[in-house]
Amino acid sequence: MVSEDIGMVGTNASLRVNRQTLREQYALIIKDLGPVISDNKVIHLDIPLHLNIGDLLIDWGTDFLLRDCNASCISRYSVRGLDRFMSQGTEK
């Protein structure tokens, strides 16, 4: 179980406090950002493509945030793909 593995690093009490703090911070983000992007189409720029667990979790969390704000992600670009994004709609 994940909580047991994490609990090995710290005490169970500190784990509960950290989870509660993260939930409170997430609620604040939803409260502030939700009205701005709710029911809108968004483009996710600078997705992490380093294939380490931290970057993958950040990207996964962003997907959850967009879902919880009822935003529709219509496209995703990494830094390496920004030239494709910037050239859309322009003639070459």
Full domain range(s) for residue 60:
2-87
- Domain membership of residue 92 (yes or no) is no
Total domains in the chain come to: 1
pTM of the predicted protein model: 0.63
Residues 6+ apart with CB under 8 A from 34: 68, 69, 70
Model confidence pLDDT, tens digit, residues 43-74: 988 887 777 888 888 888 999 999 999 999 99
- Domain membership of residue 71 (yes or no) is yes
Residues 6+ apart with CB under 8 A from 82: 45, 46
Model confidence pLDDT, tens digit, residues 10-39: 567 666 778 888 899 999 999 999 999 999
Per-residue confidence at 6, pLDDT binned at 50, 70, 90?
A: very low
Whether the per-residue pLDDT at 8 is higher than 60: the answer is no
Query: What pLDDT score was predicted for residue 57?
Result: 87
The span from the CA of 69 to the CA of 39, in Å, is: 8
